[in-house]
Structure formats: structure tokens, C-alpha cells
């Protein structure tokens, strides 16, 4: 028997990542919207999530919620399979000493090339109609800035990097299997690239629920 061989720690003892914290925070937000948690309980649990160091410490805050016991989707690969995305772009967005914006109800192709040279580009996919399961946004920012926004129900991955610049992608895992995956690739040279989910619809949904609750309470009082 090899006494020097160490047994790997249980899953609950593994260090929690930012993606793990985001997943638990999303479950708590949904529980608040559904009325399973009060505002005070939600605030207390979110504070615990932010200070948690291991996966086990995170699970404590959601083990009494149904969403915590739902099957998790298979992990999204870090990059698309070879040959899945064409080499030539379906769409190209260029901003040279100018601004360019793509937003609204548009249909992104499998590959989008973005060039920002002393300019700024905004790619907003939060209302886009996804016809493909995998979308690559290839970004080149030279002394410019590029912002990419995606809806919360897709997966988001980063493949690029920065050279004396900032290349930041907020990793996101979709709750549903088969959801679209957006890959952000490219370089930021003395420039800035940022990709993150747009979290507006959940807030609006919570406000709608609160308004409906208030309306029901007013109707009950008026009917007395």
C-alpha cells in the first residue's frame, strides 16, 4: 500500500470558482422571483455565496431549493470542434475612427469578424435570433474598444487575449442543454474587449411579479 498516494478531495471540498458562484447566485435570484425566498433571505444567502470558498459551502445555500437538484447540462467545450465553424465570416463589422453598433432582432451567422481601430463597436446579441448552435465572434481591437452582450440563456466562452490591452470575457453556462454557445476570440492590442451577459430581463420579471402582487392586494382591499 502506497502511503504517499493522496486521495483526491470530494467534490464538496473543491475550491469554488467564479462560475460556481454565478450559478448559485442565479438559482437564488430565480428563487426570489418565484417567491421561494424573501428579500431578507435572498440577501443573507447571497452574502454567504460571496464569502464561500468551497463547492460544499456554496451548496449549503441552495440545498432546500428545487433548482439545485435539477440535472446539470453537459459542460460546454472551451472551443468549437474543428471544422464546425467556417473560416470565412458571415458578417463583418468595422469601426475606424468611428462607432459601429449591431443590436435588435437580427440573425447572427456562425462567424462574425469585428475590427475596431481607434473606434468602438457594440455587438448586442441579447435580442438576436440564433439560427446556429455555435457562434464565433472574432475581435481585433487596436487602440479601440469592443463590447459584446449576450442573453442569459446562452453559454459564453473566451478564447482571445490582450497585448498591452484588456480582453475580458465573463464565462456563462446556459441552464438548458443544446442552448447556443458564443465564443469570443481575437486580440486587444492597446485596446479593450469585454463580453458579458445582459441581465435585464430577470430584473424586469421580478418587478412585474411585485407589481402583480401589489395589484392583487389593492383589489382585495377595494372588494371589501
Residues 114 and 173 in one domain: yes
Assess if residue 1 is contained within a domain.
no
Assess if residue 211 is contained within a domain.
no
Assess if residue 83 is contained within a domain.
no
Residues 49 and 146 in one domain: no
Residues 36 and 114 in one domain: no
pTM of the model: 0.59
Assess if residue 101 is contained within a domain.
yes
- State the cell numbers at 166: 484588456
pLDDT of residue 44: 93
Residues 110 and 49 in one domain: no
Assess if residue 133 is contained within a domain.
yes
Q: How confident is the model at residue 19 (pLDDT cuts 50, 70, 90)?
A: confident
pLDDT tens digits for range 34-93: 899 999 999 999 999 999 889 889 989 998 988 777 666 556 666 777 777 888 999 999
What does the alpha-carbon distance between residue 113 and residue 188 come to, in Å, rounded to a whole number?
Answer: 14
Residues 179 and 145 in one domain: yes
Residues 62 and 101 in one domain: no
Report how many domains make up the chain. 2
Residues 127 and 196 in one domain: yes
Q: Can you give the residue range of the structural domain that contains 120?
A: 91-201
Residues 96 and 192 in one domain: yes
Amino acid at each position: 500500500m502506497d502511503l504517499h498516494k493522496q486521495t483526491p478531495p470530494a467534490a464538496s471540498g473543491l475550491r469554488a470558482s467564479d462560475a460556481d458562484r454565478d450559478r448559485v447566485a442565479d438559482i437564488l435570484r430565480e428563487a426570489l422571483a418565484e417567491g421561494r425566498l424573501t428579500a431578507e433571505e435572498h440577501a443573507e444567502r447571497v452574502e454567504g455565496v460571496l464569502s464561500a470558498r468551497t463547492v460544499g459551502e456554496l451548496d449549503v445555500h441552495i440545498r432546500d431549493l428545487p433548482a439545485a437538484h435539477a440535472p446539470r447540462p453537459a459542460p460546454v467545450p472551451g472551443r468549437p470542434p474543428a471544422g464546425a465553424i467556417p473560416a470565412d465570416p458571415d458578417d463583418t463589422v468595422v469601426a475606424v475612427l468611428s462607432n459601429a453598433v449591431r443590436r435588435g432582432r437580427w440573425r447572427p451567422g456562425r462567424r462574425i469578424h469585428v475590427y475596431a481601430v481607434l473606434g468602438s463597436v457594440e455587438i448586442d446579441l441579447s435580442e438576436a435570433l440564433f439560427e446556429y448552435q455555435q457562434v464565433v465572434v472574432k475581435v481585433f481591437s487596436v487602440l479601440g474598444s469592443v463590447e459584446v452582450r449576450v442573453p442569459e440563456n446562452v453559454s459564453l466562452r473566451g478564447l482571445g487575449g490582450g497585448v498591452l490591452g484588456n480582453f475580458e470575457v465573463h464565462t456563462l453556462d446556459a441552464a438548458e442543454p443544446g442552448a447556443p454557445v458564443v465564443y469570443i476570440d481575437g486580440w486587444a492590442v492597446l485596446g479593450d474587449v469585454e463580453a458579458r451577459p445582459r441581465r435585464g430581463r430577470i430584473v424586469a420579471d421580478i418587478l412585474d411579479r411585485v407589481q402583480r402582487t401589489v395589484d392583487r392586494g389593492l383589489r382585495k382591499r377595494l372588494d371589501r
